[in-house]
């Protein structure tokens, strides 16, 4: 078993226990151009394992970041309105709770095009965005968000601290689980944070992934799947402490951690750690039966799509997101079942879904071509997308929601 040669991304332990194998899979965020319809794509093993040493759930394969994030990577995400409002509310809370002002500094890691930090700029609070993609930093600078194009880690943090940057607040949303050097990233946060500063860190919660069968949130860019137990051990190794925590509905169920340099865990942290111990998130058995449920979802969804096709129905899909790629490739949904994938992001239109090579078209094609059914790939945005497509539904169109159990809406 490949796991024997791997070390835990957090604690370094060997002897990781495989719990789910999604097979040889193309990179989920790499949509090939339409002209590549007959070309093979690189495929990599996608296998999930549990660490008995620190409880961290992780994938075994680390794809070279140069391959993952090359010039073809779709950098400019189409942010949902919900995500933008969610970020803004968090910022306003922190400005008040931390009494931030013109003498403060807020740093964001993986700052993208500055959509979060611009909320601080509007309040006159100095910011620094760090993102590895130069084009994103340029876009952020245009809206007044000071940015640096760097891969964040301990070296960059020390250099910034040497230049006098010390952060009152550090934001790290949906990045900790994606970085190959997990310990270097957390050590960097410790080096850049003021002694009384706070880091606000968000990532999907592995408990929601398992409980709601969200296997399609597993892909090669997403290396770690944290429980509170596992992240607590990671933080402590670097002199950081989990002091408050919230469960959020975003991305199918996420955690927001509030982390500082003093060990003062609030009731929410103590309660979640106790719940995880009671449920067994620190033991491999909790993850083992997940594999059987994922296989059950696959056969149910395939049976539903094949039955509709046999009845002469037309089927499309909506949302060319990474999770859609994992889902169609693992379940085996190709052009014989789904005619096209509609997406609002113009950078994805005219391309193909990885592996299955289903064409990606404009969202308006749903209204124009009126398929009988639409498979909703970003099921986490169900209410938002169903509201956008109310005219299609009013005219008799139906959505298929694949997770946690396939159903028609």
3-class secondary structure, 341:
strand
By beta-carbon proximity to Zn ion, the closer residue of 8 and 352 is 8
By beta-carbon proximity to Zn ion, the closer residue of 13 and 21 is 13
User: In the complex, what is the shortest distance from the CB of residue 16 to Zn ion, in angstroms, rounded to a whole number?
Assistant: 8
Q: Give, as ranges, the residues between 206 and 265 that touch Zn ion (CB under 5 A).
A: none
User: In the complex, what is the shortest distance from the CB of residue 254 to Zn ion, in angstroms, rounded to a whole number?
Assistant: 21
What residue has token string 């003021």? 194
- Token pair recorded at residue 384: 């938002």
Q: Which of 37, 62, 358 is nearest to 219 (CA)?
A: 62
User: In the complex, what is the shortest distance from the CB of residue 53 to Zn ion, in angstroms, rounded to a whole number?
Assistant: 4
Q: Which of 223, 254, 222 is nearest to 322 (CA)?
A: 222
Report d(CA 61, CA 357) in Å as an integer: 23
By beta-carbon proximity to Zn ion, the closer residue of 58 and 380 is 58
Are the C-beta atoms of residues 377 and 317 closer than 8 Å to each other? yes
By beta-carbon proximity to Zn ion, the closer residue of 15 and 101 is 15
Residue 282: count of CB within 10 angstroms of its CB: 18
User: In the complex, what is the shortest distance from the CB of residue 156 to Zn ion, in angstroms, rounded to a whole number?
Assistant: 25
Report d(CA 145, CA 129) in Å as an integer: 7
Most distant CA atoms of the chain, gap in Å: 67
Site string for Zn ion, 27-66 (x = CB under 5 A): ------------------------x-xx-x----------
Report d(CA 205, CA 249) in Å as an integer: 10
Cα–Cα separations (whole angstroms), residue 154 to 24, 199, 202, 260, 366: 33, 15, 20, 17, 47
User: In the complex, what is the shortest distance from the CB of residue 241 to Zn ion, in angstroms, rounded to a whole number?
Assistant: 19
- Token pair recorded at residue 96: 């008040």
By beta-carbon proximity to Zn ion, the closer residue of 52 and 334 is 52
Which range of residues in 10-18, 96-104, 215-223, 265-273 is near Zn ion by CB under 5 A? 10-18
By beta-carbon proximity to Zn ion, the closer residue of 56 and 94 is 56
- Give the containing element (helix H, strand E) for 360: strand 360-362
By beta-carbon proximity to Zn ion, the closer residue of 57 and 294 is 57
* Total residues interacting with Zn ion, rule: CB under 5 A: 8
Which range of residues in 6-14, 131-139, 156-164, 237-245 is near Zn ion by CB under 5 A? 6-14
By beta-carbon proximity to Zn ion, the closer residue of 56 and 294 is 56
Report d(CA 330, CA 294) in Å as an integer: 10
By beta-carbon proximity to Zn ion, the closer residue of 178 and 261 is 178
Which range of residues in 11-19, 260-268, 314-322, 379-387 is near Zn ion by CB under 5 A? 11-19
User: In the complex, what is the shortest distance from the CB of residue 51 to Zn ion, in angstroms, rounded to a whole number?
Assistant: 3
User: In the complex, what is the shortest distance from the CB of residue 352 to Zn ion, in angstroms, rounded to a whole number?
Assistant: 37
User: In the complex, what is the shortest distance from the CB of residue 245 to Zn ion, in angstroms, rounded to a whole number?
Assistant: 20
Q: Is 10 among the residues that bind Zn ion (CB under 5 A)?
A: yes
User: In the complex, what is the shortest distance from the CB of residue 233 to Zn ion, in angstroms, rounded to a whole number?
Assistant: 8
Backbone angles phi, psi at 12, to 5 degrees: 85, 0
Report d(CA 8, CA 297) in Å as an integer: 29
3-class secondary structure, 352:
strand
Name the residues that contact Zn ion, by CB under 5 A. Answer: 8, 10-11, 13, 51, 53-54, 56
């Amino acid at each position: 078993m490949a796991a024997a040669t791997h070390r835990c991304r957090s604690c370094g332990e060997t002897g990781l226990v495989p719990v789910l194998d999604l097979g040889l899979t193309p990179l989920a965020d790499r949509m090939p151009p339409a002209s590549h319809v007959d070309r093979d794509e690189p495929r990599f093993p996608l296998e999930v394992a549990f660490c008995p040493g620190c409880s961290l759930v992780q994938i075994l394969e680390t794809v070279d970041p140069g391959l993952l994030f090359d010039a073809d990577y779709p950098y400019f995400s189409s942010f949902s309105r919900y995500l933008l409002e969610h970020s803004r509310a968090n910022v306003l809370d922190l400005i008040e709770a931390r009494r931030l002002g013109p003498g403060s500094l807020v740093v964001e890691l993986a700052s993208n095009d500055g959509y979060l930090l611009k909320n601080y700029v509007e309040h006159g609070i100095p910011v620094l965005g760090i993102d590895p993609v130069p084009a994103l930093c340029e876009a952020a600078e245009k809206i007044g968000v000071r940015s640096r194009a760097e891969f964040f880690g301990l070296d960059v943090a020390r250099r910034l601290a040497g230049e006098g940057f010390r952060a009152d607040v550090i934001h790290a949303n949906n990045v900790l689980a994606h970085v190959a050097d997990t310990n270097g990233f957390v050590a960097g946060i410790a080096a850049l944070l003021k002694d009384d500063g706070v880091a606000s860190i968000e990532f999907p919660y592995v408990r929601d992934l398992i409980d709601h069968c969200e296997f399609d949130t597993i892909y090669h860019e997403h290396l770690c799947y944290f429980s509170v137990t596992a992240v607590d051990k990671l933080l402590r190794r670097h002199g950081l402490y989990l002091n408050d925590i919230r469960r959020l509905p975003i991305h199918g169920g996420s955690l927001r951690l509030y982390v500082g340099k003093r060990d003062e865990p609030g009731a929410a942290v103590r309660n979640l750690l106790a719940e995880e111990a009671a449920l067994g998130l620190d033991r491999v058995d909790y993850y083992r039966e997940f594999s059987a449920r994922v296989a059950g979802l696959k056969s149910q969804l395939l049976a539903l799509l094949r039955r509709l096709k046999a009845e002469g129905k037309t089927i499309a899909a909506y949302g060319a997101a990474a999770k859609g790629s994992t889902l169609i490739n693992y379940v085996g949904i190709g052009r014989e079942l789904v005619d096209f994938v509609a997406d609002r992001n113009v950078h994805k239109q005219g391309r193909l879904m990885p592996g299955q090579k289903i064409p990606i078209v404009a969202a308006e094609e749903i209204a124009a071509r009126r398929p009988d059914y639409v498979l909703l790939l970003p099921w986490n945005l169900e209410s938002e997308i169903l509201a956008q497509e109310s005219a299609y539904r009013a005219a008799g169109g139906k959505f298929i929601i694949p997770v946690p159990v396939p159903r028609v809406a």
